[in-house]
Amino acid sequence: MVCAIYPGSFDPVTNGHLDIIDRASKVFDHVIVAVLENPRKIPTFSMEEKVQMLKKIVVPYPNVEVDSYRGLLIDYAQKRGARIIIKGLRAISDFEFEFQMALTNRQLNCEVETMFMMTNNMYSFISSGIVKEVASYGGEIKTLVPPQVYDMIIKKLTPSSSKPG
């Protein structure tokens, strides 16, 4: 059985992430979507909220589970006995840092392989940061995020719903 980890900060999950989950679920026997901390980003959603959102969107995928971990991705892979890390690549701008992380993870444990999936061109412009920016100014994010998590994101980010009165 081939088990792969799809890690990310998912702050919040977008249609781009869902596309990778969907495609990975067709390639691997088991996919673990793992919420990890990105020390370079200040999170908007708590770990629990992110897990909750991801759990809602993976309901149609019986071979996908959601988990969270505080620590190194490579330690988590070892803990779960997974030898594959899946990363989504949207643009050349993603490449440099992803390449650095993949090589670092290989240095830490050469048994674990990082595999990249090219984004679907429909979603290549979407990022969690863009979703947060649009929503925080009251813009429409319906086409950017899965419908199951739309309300939760709006509640947290839109100006009128986050402030009383």
Please, are residues 157 and 151 in contact by the beta-carbon 8 Å criterion?
A: no
By CB under 6 A, the residues from 67 to 96 that bind ligand PNS are 72-73
Q: Min. distance of Cβ 163 from ligand PNS in angstroms?
A: 27
User: Rule CB under 6 A: is residue 105 a binding residue for ligand PNS?
Assistant: yes
Nearest residue (CB) to ligand PNS, 86 versus 164 = 86
Task: Say if residues 21 and 33 touch (Cβ distance below 8 Å).
Answer: yes
Long-range contacts of 90-93 (CB under 8 A, 24+ apart): 90/16, 90/119, 90/123, 90/124, 90/125, 90/126, 90/127, 91/124
Question: Which of the residues 14 through 53 are near ligand PNS (CB under 6 A)?
Answer: 36-38, 41
Stretch that binds ligand PNS, among 1-9, 24-32, 109-117, 155-163 (CB under 6 A): 1-9
Separation CA 39–CA 53 (nearest Å): 21
- Binding track, positions 106-145, relative to ligand PNS; x by CB under 6 A: ----------------------------------------
